[in-house]
Amino acid sequence: MTDKIKALKLKDPFGLDNIEVTELDDPGQPAAGEIRVRVKASSLNFHDYGVAAGFIPTEDGRIPMSDGAGVVEAVGEGVEEFAVGDPVVSTFFPYWQSGPAPVGDFKQTPGDGIDGYAREVVVRPAHFFTHQPKGYSHAESATLTTAGLTAWRALVVDGGIKPGNSVLVLGSGGVSVFACQLAKSLGATVFAMSSSNDKLEKYKALGADHTINYKEDPEWGKTVRKLTDGRGVDHVIEVGGPGTLPQSINAVAIAGHIALIGVLTGSAGEVPTAKLMAKQARLQGLIVGSCDDQKDFVRALEANGVKPVIDKTFGLEELADAFRYEESGKHFGKICLAF
């Protein structure tokens, strides 16, 4: 009799009501170059929500969730980076190891193009994982794969942030909250925006220097310029897309950097190109980062002591409820699964 493990599958027609709890055969022992990981936690991203809700297409029966953190239970022949008992965390692009991005789609991303981490055990090539930061819980580590690494790449890898720089973060999801924390740890001044004054108070508690309610202040780009004596900010963490980009271009400094991360307001829209040109700002799109970027990020977290903000944790079988909570927009920081 084969041992069974618990897993979740997305069933056609897709939607939050069609996430199925199921059992799979235990994947067994790792082959050469592979590791067996007991998955202990995952975290929710907008991308995962899009796949589960059915507006990012995937295959019938796909196991969701791109983030997975857990413990190595066995290592295959030739694996030297990991040992039994090591706490590990997955990578978003397991085949992008280093250098500039070679990938522009999600065909090899767990939980989208290939099966993800909403299951108790996986056997995967060792390069699908990095070590967790020392002193992190599995749930905390699970926030790094997508949201954390995106914030790190935006500020450090692409942005080249320096102490004394200024950073504007939009909204209060995982990437933005992480970006606030990282920017403060790197000696930057942070401007945080939300439509909720309660969330702005939470940002102040994390060290944000200036807060703006964008519902009350639709011309927030001008406000940011005023607060910076007309200069603008060095970095904008742009998660809104076409609906917010014109104001972000207003807010950014001449020769500044806008990291285009999200399209929460839609996938296409008007860009004030003359203003962007006059600002001589760099508008750079990005999707997460490489395995080497993640290793650098883990080392940084061990040095700076930054811990992610986890708003709420759900069990594996409560994934639909967790997504509904994400849908409500009530969260500040990350929503996790622990199992």
Annotated domain spans of the chain:
4-145+289-338, 149-285
Predicted TM-score (pTM) of this structure: 0.97
Which one is predicted more confidently, 265 or 103? 103
Confidence class for position 95, pLDDT limits 50, 70, 90: very high
- pLDDT at residue 267, rounded to an integer: 80
- What per-residue string of b and e applies to 1-37 under the rule 16 or more CB within 10 Å gives b? eeeebebbbbeeebebeebeeeebeebeebeeebbbb
- Sequential DSSP letters for 130-169: EEPPTT--HHHHHTIIIIIHHHHIIIIITT---TT-EEEE
Percent of the chain with pLDDT over 70: 100
Please give the CATH superfamily to which domain 149-285 belongs: NAD(P)-binding Rossmann-like Domain (3.40.50.720)
Q: Is the dihedral angle over the CA atoms 42, 240, 148, 332 positive or is it negative? A: negative
Cα 22 off chain centre by: 27
- pLDDT at residue 1, rounded to an integer: 55
The CATH classification number of 4-145+289-338 equals: 3.90.180.10
* Angstrom distances, CA of residue 85 to CA of 38, 71, 75, 142: 10, 6, 10, 17
